[in-house]
Amino acid sequence: MALFFPGVEAQAQSIEKHHGRLETRKLWALPVSPQQVGFCAAAQVVRIHRHFLYLRCGKETQETVLYITSHCPLADQNRNAEALLDMARKHWVIENGNHYVRDRSYDEDRCQVRDPNSAQILATLRSMARFLAKNGAHDPQNPHQDTTPGLHRFCNANRNKAIGWLISARTPF
């Protein structure tokens, strides 16, 4: 299987400037069958090459990642490649918008809970706290209070109200 597409132009490319760097992404996609790659429901193998130029110091880095997706290829190869590149970017929006905040606020990656039920309960409580913070349940008065850590400070100072949210069937806002 010609997975690395030697000598073939990228099917999609994007260039973005943000966070002090210029990021170029190139994508190649290849339709496959589940039998070819050994993954149930596999429809495509995707290669994304990322090139980063850090504008402040001039440092350059590169990485190539491979994906297997069940997303069926579109008839138009260019539209298919653009859609795959967009899906890969949206994955990182979720990672940075949710998982990063959860790890920074709750230090989830270092959680020592190993019992599956306890882990699920903790995850549900953390999700509920994120929901409450995002919806301003604690009535934030300034931007510094309108965050997950702001909700934590509020709950520490107002424990009875926070416990009431947990046992009440009503939404606090």
Rg (CA), the chain: 22
DSSP 16: E
**Residue 27's pLDDT band (boundaries 50, 70, 90)?**
very high
Residue 98: predicted pLDDT: 77
Distance CA 5, CA 157 (A): 59
SS3 150: helix
Distance CA 147, CA 132 (A): 10
DSSP 19: T
pLDDT digit string, tens, across residues 81-126: 999 999 988 877 777 777 778 888 888 888 889 999 998 998 888 8
Beta carbons of 8 and 28 less than 8 angstroms apart: yes
107 Cβ contact list (under 8 Å, min separation 6): none
pLDDT digit string, tens, across residues 49-64: 999 999 999 999 999 9
Residue 107, by phi and psi: left (phi above 0), alpha (psi -120 to 50) or beta? left
pLDDT above 50 for 1: no
pLDDT digit string, tens, across residues 125-162: 888 888 877 777 788 887 777 788 888 888 889 888 88
Beta carbons of 104 and 95 less than 8 angstroms apart: no
Residue 144: predicted pLDDT: 73
Give the residue, 109 or 44, on which the prediction is more confident.
44
Tokens of 74: 């579109």
Please state the pTM of the whole predicted model. Answer: 0.61
